[in-house]
Amino acid sequence: MQLEYSIEGGDFSHAGFASSQVKRVLKQLNVDPKLIKRVVVCLYEAEVNVVAHAYSGIIHVLINTNEIVMKLADKGPGIPDISLAMQKGYSTASDKVREMGFGAGMGLPNIQHNADDFKISSNVGEGTNLEITIKL
CB 77 within 8 A of CB 125: yes
Span interacting with another protein, options 10-18, 60-68, 78-86, 120-128, rule CB under 8 A:
10-18
113-132 footprint of another protein as x/- string (CB under 8 A) = x-------------------
Of 52-91, binders to another protein (CB under 8 A) are: none
Q: Does 95 bind another protein (CB under 8 A)?
A: no
Q: Does 102 bind another protein (CB under 8 A)?
A: yes
Q: Does 23 bind another protein (CB under 8 A)?
A: yes
Q: Is 104 helix (H, G, I), strand (E, B) or coil?
A: coil
Q: Does 30 bind another protein (CB under 8 A)?
A: no
Beta-carbon neighbour count of residue 7 at 10 Å?
23
CB 111 within 8 A of CB 45: yes
Q: How far is the CB of 90 from another protein (least distance, A)?
A: 12
CB 124 within 8 A of CB 77: yes
Closest C-alpha among 99, 4, 6, 7 to residue 49: 7
Site for another protein (CB under 8 A): which residue of 33, 87, 124, 126?
Answer: 33
Site for another protein (CB under 8 A): which residue of 5, 19, 59, 115?
Answer: 19
Angle at alpha carbon of residue 70, lines to 66 and 73, rounded to 5° = 155
Site for another protein (CB under 8 A): which residue of 2, 13, 30, 66?
Answer: 13
